[in-house]
Amino acid sequence: METSAPAKVILFGEHAVVYGEPAIAVAINLRTYVKIKKSEEYRVNGYPMSDKYHSYIKNAIKLCWDGEPLDIQTKSEVPSASGMGSSASITVAMLTALLAMKDELKEEKIAKLGFEVEYRTQGSASPIDTSTVTHGKGILVHREKKDHFLWKVEKGELKWYIHHIEVPSLKLVVGFSGIKGSTKDMVNKVRRFYNWNSFARDVIRDIGKITMEAIEPLQDEDYERIGELMNEDNKLLTILGVNHPMLKRMINASLKHSYGAKLTGAGGGGSIIALTDEQDEVAKAIEEVGGKAYKVEISKDGFRIENHF
Ligand SMILES: Nc1ncnc2c1ncn2[C@@H]1O[C@H](COP(=O)(O)OP(=O)(O)O)[C@@H](O)[C@H]1O
Ligand SMILES: C[C@@](O)(CCOP(=O)(O)O)CC(=O)O
C-alpha cells in the first residue's frame, strides 16, 4: 500500500487556533510518501520502530491498526520541524495507508484520527494542520459552523468547525531557517504566557480578528490587503514570543519584493512565508540571508493513494 499527503502553510491564525480562534491554512506541493507491507516485526526504513524517532507513526498504528506487524518505508520532501506540517503530513499519509488496508478510507475519519495522533504525540494541538493536509486546497477553522462546512473536531471544551475555503492561486515563497522549531515546545511556551497574562489572551483574540479580516481580501484576490494583514499577524506572533532572529532576517529580506511576510507554523525557528508576484527575487533574497527557499503552489490534493513510490 503506497500513499502520500501534502505539507501545509498557515496563512493566518497559528497559535490562536489552539484556543479556538479562527485560522486559515493551505496545502502546498511538497509531500510525504509512505509504503507499507505486512511483516514479521514493526520496522521503519529498515530500523525497529521506536518511541523516540517514530512517535507519530507509532501513535497512528496504536489508534487504528490491530493487524499483523508492518514494514514501513517513508520518503519526505517536507523538512522536519519546519513549520510546514511535517508531522501532520507523515501522520495523514500513515493513516491513509492503514485505513485503506482496512477498507475504511474516508476523508473525515483520516482528519479526525490525524488530530488525535497529533494531540497525543504533542500533548496539545489544534486540528488545522491535519485537516488541511487531509483535504488539500484551503481550510478555514472557525468556532461556528459556516458555509462549506466539512467536519467538527472537539477536545474538552473546545470545538473547531472545519470548512473548505476558496483561495486564489497565491504565489508564495517559504523560507526555512534550517533551525528546528518544535511545535510542542512553542505551543507550551505560548500556553504558559496565555494562562497567566491577560495581555497574551488579548493578543490571541487579536490574531483571530486578523484571520476574519483576511477572508474577504482572499476571496477578492486583494493581495495588497492580504499582505498588510500578514505583516500585522507577524507583529502579534512576535509579541507572543515565537519569532526568531533568523525568521526576522528572512522576513525583512522578503519584504522588498513582497506584499507581506510572516512566520508560519509554530515558530521559534521553522519557516516564514512571503506573498509575492516575484517568487524568484524573494527566493534569492531569502537564500542571501542564509535561509532555504521553496517556491510553492497550493496543492489541490490532500491525502492520496499512490501507484509508485
Ligand atoms: N518523515 C518523517 N517520518 C517520521 N516522523 C517525522 C517525519 N517528519 C517529521 N516527523 C516527526 O515530526 C516532528 C516534527 O513535527 P513538528 O514539531 O510538529 O514540526 P512541523 O510539523 O512543523 O514540521 C519530528 O520531530 C518527527 O517526530
Ligand atoms: C502553533 C500551531 O497553531 C501550528 C503548528 O504548526 P507546525 O506544527 O509548526 O507546522 C499549533 C496547532 O495548531 O496545532
- Is 133 domain-assigned? yes
Same domain, 19 and 150: yes
Q: Is the CB of 263 under 6 A from ligand 1?
A: no
| Residue of 66, 71, 129, 280 marked active site | 129
For the chain, the domain total comes to 2
Q: Is the CB of 183 under 6 A from ligand 2?
A: yes
Distance 80 CA to ligand 1 centre (A): 5
The torsion angles phi and psi of 171, rounded to 5 degrees, stand at -95, 110
Q: Is the CB of 182 under 6 A from ligand 1?
A: yes
Closest atom of ligand 2 to CA, residue 15: 3
Cell numbers found for residue 176: 526555512
CA separation for the pair 284, 295 (Å, rounded): 11
147 is catalytic: no
Domain end call among 167, 198, 219: 167
pLDDT at 170 exceeding the cut of 90: yes
Question: Of all helices (H) and strands (E), which one includes residue 41?
Answer: none
- Is 83 domain-assigned? yes
Q: Is the CB of 21 under 6 A from ligand 2?
A: no
Same domain, 14 and 143: yes
Ligand 2 pocket test: which of 187, 194, 247 has the largest number of ligand atoms within 8 Å of its C-beta? Answer: 187
Residues of the domain holding 135:
2-167
Domain end call among 143, 167, 191: 167
CA separation for the pair 197, 199 (Å, rounded): 5
Ligand nearest to the backbone CA of 265: 2
pLDDT at 181 exceeding the cut of 90: no
Q: What is the mean pLDDT of residues 97-101?
A: 97
- Is 35 domain-assigned? yes
Same domain, 69 and 128: yes
pLDDT of residue 308: 65
Ligand nearest to the backbone CA of 114: 2
The CATH number linked to 202 is 3.30.70.890
Same domain, 163 and 281: no
The alpha carbon dihedral of 9, 13, 16, 21 has a sign of negative
pLDDT at 125 exceeding the cut of 90: no
- Is 305 domain-assigned? no
Question: Of all helices (H) and strands (E), which one includes residue 48?
Answer: strand 47-48
Tens of pLDDT, residues 198-249:
999 999 999 999 999 999 999 999 999 999 999 999 999 999 999 999 999 9
Tens of pLDDT, residues 58-79:
999 999 999 999 999 999 999 9
Cell numbers found for residue 194: 496565555
- Is 302 domain-assigned? no
Domain end call among 126, 151, 167: 167
Distance 174 CA to ligand 1 centre (A): 17
pLDDT of residue 309: 55
pLDDT at 297 exceeding the cut of 60: yes
CA separation for the pair 134, 126 (Å, rounded): 14
- Is 308 domain-assigned? no
Same domain, 121 and 206: no
Picking from 22, 25, 26, 10, the residue whose alpha carbon sits closest to that of residue 145 is: 22
The CATH number linked to 27 is 3.30.230.10
